[in-house]
Amino acid sequence: MNKSTCALILTLSALAGCSTNSSTYHDQPLVAKVDNGMSKEQVLQIGGKPGAQSDRTVVPGTCFDYMLTKPGQKQQPYMVSFDQAGKVDKTSFMTCAEWSNAQQKSRQALPSMGGMGGSGY
């Protein structure tokens, strides 16, 4: 499998679980207002203190775990991931541990490209 196929599979898997969650929780401040490039301070102003904060294990950075709640719905995990510079680079309806596992599996699935440069095609 090439890199783009692995990335597509990972993205589609993540999106399959997000489509109904995004419509259910679209009005939650973390979902509606947090965008890529925001600082940790901006996220904390919007979402408050996270339930947990952890260092990322695959790519340097940190990750905030939140639990979204809405009357009549079960609680929904939501994570905000920050790059090494402390800027948001990913948000998703999963925990930081689930995101780390997905990244780890994605890296393990990528074959060595070898050869003399090129894109592997």
Q: DSSP letter at 81? A: E
**CATH architecture of residue range(s) 3-109:** 2-Layer Sandwich (3.30)
Give percent of the chain above pLDDT 70. Answer: 73
Residue type, 27: D
Q: Tell me what pLDDT residue 2 has.
A: 54
Q: Tell me the pTM.
A: 0.73
Q: What is the mean pLDDT of residues 104-115?
A: 70
Q: Cα–Cα distance between 28 and 46 in angstroms, integer?
A: 10
Pairwise CA distance, residues 32 & 28, whole Å: 6
Encode pLDDT of 37-96 as tens digits: 999 999 999 999 999 999 998 889 999 999 999 888 889 999 999 999 999 999 999 999
> 20: part of which helix (H) or strand (E)?
helix 3-25
Cα separation, 83 vs 66, in Å, equals 18
Q: Provide the b/e sequence for 62-83 (b: ≥16 CB within 10 Å).
A: bbbbbebeeeeeeebbbbbbbb
